A = this chain, B = another copy of it.
Amino acid sequence: MDNKQITLKEIAKLAGVSTSTASRALDERFDNYNSKIAKNIREIAEKHGYIRNIIASNLRRGTTRTIGVLVPYLSDTVMALLYENIANIAERHNYFTVVATAGNSKEREREVIKSLLDRKVDALILATCSLDDENIASLRRNKIPHSLILRTDGQSYSSIGDDKAGAYIATKHLIDLGHKKIALINGPIKSSNSKYRQEGFIEAMKTSNLKLNKDWIINLGFDIKSGEKSGDILFSSKKERPTAIFATNDELAIGVMSSAYNHGIAIGKDVSIIGYGDIPLSSRLPIPLTTIQIPFEYMAERAFNLAINNQGHYPLINMVTPTLISRKSTSKI
């Protein structure tokens, strides 16, 4: 595999040519270099298991063909899926990918961006964006190639889902099932996906002339625990309870389900729950979750293209259309 790798110079010597000729013959970017001598060099290189020293090459070329991806947590399945898709598409384009996790701290995010940049990544893809994100503004100021995925601040090139439409579809699904008392469990509104999903929810409610109950719109976090807490708030209320809940991501929905179970409320019967994201788990829950599917692969591909080459081929904000996946957690009232 390696140990003392054979070097370009040595290959050149073996082939009886200069290192520059050897370098050209082995440069993957010139595919029209087919002289006899070039072919010979390639054969020799192949035979001796020559592998270009990427570090040296990167230094000289001034580019690393590496993109850095920033997510809050990799243990968040949506983020893991997003990253896997980005890594795949990048690999197909001969790019290498590195991830870093920033948790929910803007400060940590700043550090991590710096660390990625110090490593000379050619571009960044960020899934951490909040609506007024100073870190991302700083990327723009410094003209650092980057794109946003899943969430946008409306100012950098972004590949996101049509969150408002998705939320509208989700809410409409509940309404079409006959529900009128519908609660929204959402993440913090400072993220664009939360904001637009909330807008979609409200629009669907208003369009159907349904009353919005302020106590039934809850904005805590994005994780299971937040969903559970939100569910506890709704289900332990002395007042009226909602008959349906739209949780703006699947993890929140799972948390709500857990809470419902603890309160002895039958999911899909006493209460309908719809999520957002369609993570692999959702279809395999004891009560499979009705949810909104996001085309992650397509989203990742666009984010990649935006990061690498966003010279006006694409609009600033690129949206993919989500679709409803109906399962057992929702039913007619």
Could you tell me which A residues sit within 8 Å of B by CB distance?
1-3, 51-56, 58-59, 64, 73-75, 77, 80-81, 83-84, 87, 96, 98-101, 113-115, 117-120, 138-139, 142-144, 224-225, 228, 254-255, 257-258, 260-261, 267, 280-281, 284-288
List of B residues within 8 angstroms of A118 by Cβ? 51-52, 54
Min CB distance A329 to B, Å, is: 11
B224 and A284 form a contact (CB under 8 A): yes
CB distance from A14 to the nearest CB of B (A): 21
A245 to B225, CA, bound (A): 27
- By a CB distance below 8 angstroms, the chain B residues around A260 are 286
Question: Within 8 Å CB of A119, what residues of B?
Answer: 54-55, 96
Provide the residues of chain B in CB contact with A144, threshold 8 Å. 1-2
Distance (whole angstroms) from the CB of A101 to the closest CB of chain B: 6
Inter-chain contacts of A114 with B (CB < 8 A): 1
CA gap between A80 and B87 in the complex, in Å: 15
Q: Specify which chain B residues have a CB less than 8 angstroms from the CB of A84 in the assembled complex.
A: 73-75, 101
Which residues on B sit within 8 Å (CB–CB) of A55?
55, 58-59, 64, 119-120
> In whole angstroms, what is the CA distance A119 to B53 when docked?
8
In the complex, besides A73-B80, A75-B77, 7 extra interface pairs with C-beta distance below 8 angstroms are A53-B59, A55-B120, A73-B84, A74-B74, A255-B284, A257-B286, A286-B286
Of the residues B56, B64, B81, B99, contact of A59 by C-beta under 8 Å: B56
CB-defined contacts of A73 to chain B, threshold 8 Å = 80, 84
Nearest residue (CB) in B for A251 is B281
Question: Nearest chain B CB to A268's CB is how many angstroms away?
Answer: 11
A96 to chain B: closest residue by CB:
B119
Report A97 CB to chain B, min CB distance, Å: 8
A280 to B228, CA, bound (A): 13
Report how far A135 CA is from B55 CA in the complex, Å: 24
Known: A3-B143, A75-B84, A81-B75. A258 touches B280 (CB 8 A): no
Q: How far is the CA of A52 from the CA of B115 in the complex (A)?
A: 11
Sorted nearest first, the 7 A-B pairs with minimum C-beta distance are A261-B286, A1-B142, A74-B80, A75-B80, A258-B284, A224-B284, A55-B59
Known: A1-B144, A114-B1. A287 touches B286 (CB 8 A): yes
A281: which of B54, B80, B254 is its contact (CB, 8 Å)?
A: B254
Q: Report Cα–Cα, A170/B10, bound state, in Å.
A: 59
Which residues of chain B have C-beta atoms less than 8 A from A113's C-beta? 1
> B1 to A117, Cβ gap below 8 A?
yes
Q: Which residues of B contact A2 (CB under 8 A)?
A: 117, 142, 144
